[in-house]
Amino acid sequence: MKFNAPRGTNDILPPDTLKWQYIEKKTHEIFSNYNYQEIRTPIFEYTELFQRGIGEVTDIVEKEMYTFEDKGGRSITLRPEGTASVIRSFLENKIYGQAQPTKYYYIGPMFRYERPQSGRFRQFHQLGVEAIASNDPALDAEIISLGMRLLQDFGLNDLELHLNSVGCGECRPTYVDKLKKYLNENKEQLCDNCKSRIDRNPLRVLDCKNDSCQSVIKDAPKITDNLCESCADHFNDVQEYLDILNLDYIINPLLVRGLDYYTNTAFEIKDNALGAQDTVFGGGRYNGLAEEIGSRDLPGIGFALGIERLLLSLEAKDIELPVESGVDLYITVIGEQAKKESFKLLDQLRNKGFITEIDYLGRSVGSQMKSADRMNAEYTIIIGENELNNNSATIRNMKSGDEKEIQLSNLLEEMKQLVDKEDI
């Protein structure tokens, strides 16, 4: 029987893993610079956490979650997103008793049963941030600027920031009633999916990409015209702080995001080079989430960025991440005794920080040289019977072909001079 990876998943192989490692390393550096600390939560949670947190009438909960019953009869779900787990952890571990706000970031796999397509997988990877226990609009601007800074460090500059406020528990119900009335008046022009959403979750209609639905949506009531004074002031303050940071943005009153926990600020960063799936990352406030899944009314804001989507955006713009593959040194051995002596040298070189390789297949000198070339080795160290008798080695520059003989006792110091290793 032939085994393949399940549909919607993929293997990440070298040298692509170097790109992932670079993204993760840069993420750690930049997020730490903003005083966000890494949090790691379980890959699976009790299903009710996502039902209550994300919303039972969202596409994620209704159609896309990987849910199963464990041997104890408990309903378990592979996490489809990261925010609900972070808030659960914050509440369970009573972090609210510490100095606030709490600022977390995470990197890890998520799972959704979606139709696989460009940039969408059933197992995908997100990096994200959450800032909990502050409703300060300046924090909204910080979160947005942090995401933009990260993308700019990867070389992505031609991006659009779309911004909206989805209101709060006081003003949104009034808007939802107006939206329902409008959608019912134009119901015949909507797709079947949107027709079913009118009474259950009308805000989701604003997400629909169907052409006939779009023609209805463009004239729908705008939530920005129905904000209460508090939400309007908060939204204006967010814009003012973004102006201070010289971040351009587009007010998009149809932007509502796909999860029910959002309140007030909602935002997306779009890259037109990606076509229909043009959102690189998005996020917003979720001031009611902690109360929904726990017992405390705590504000919060965050965003999540899909790493696969980020790599697609970089590829679409022909941006190469500054990663290098290959080895510093390849030890070419001639004869069994030379291999035994070289094996000790191999260990010494690796302990000094050199990326070093040796032949394990008993190949000829010519084949070993070809192997060194395929590995992009900077230098080869050739050791045979003659070299052993003279207690020496021949060093070859693989680019120029230049060779020189040095004493084995001086090899480590010589390689420090030849190979640019900052930490040696």
Each residue of 213-232: pLDDT tens digit? Answer: 999 999 999 999 999 999 99
Residue 83 annotated as lining a ligand binding site: yes
Residue 126 annotated as lining a ligand binding site: yes
Residue 262 annotated as lining a ligand binding site: yes
Summary mean pLDDT of the chain: 93
Question: Rounded to whole angstroms, how far apart are CA atoms 216 and 206?
Answer: 9
Phi/psi at 414 (nearest 5 deg)? -65, -40
Residue 115 annotated as lining a ligand binding site: no
Domain 329-417 -> CATH class: alpha beta
Question: Rounded to whole angstroms, how far apart are CA atoms 35 and 29?
Answer: 10
CATH 3.30.930.10 domain residues, the chain: 16-171+227-316
- pTM of the entire predicted model: 0.90
Q: Which residues on adjacent β-strands are paired with residue 123?
A: 111
Which parts of the chain have pLDDT scores under 70? Answer: 119, 258, 275-276, 420-424
DSSP per-residue codes, 136-152? -HHHHHHHHHHHHHHHH
Residue 112 annotated as lining a ligand binding site: yes
CATH 3.40.50.800 domain residues, the chain: 329-417
pLDDT in tens, 396-413: 999 999 999 999 999 999
220: left (phi over 0), alpha (psi -120 to 50) or beta: beta
Q: 159 is written with which tokens?
A: 């991006």
Residue 130 annotated as lining a ligand binding site: yes
Predicted pLDDT at 325: 80
Residue 56 annotated as lining a ligand binding site: no
The superfamily in CATH containing domain 16-171+227-316 is Bira Bifunctional Protein; Domain 2 (3.30.930.10)
Cβ–Cβ under 8 Å, residues 108 and 122 = no
Residue 403 annotated as lining a ligand binding site: no
Residue 261 annotated as lining a ligand binding site: yes
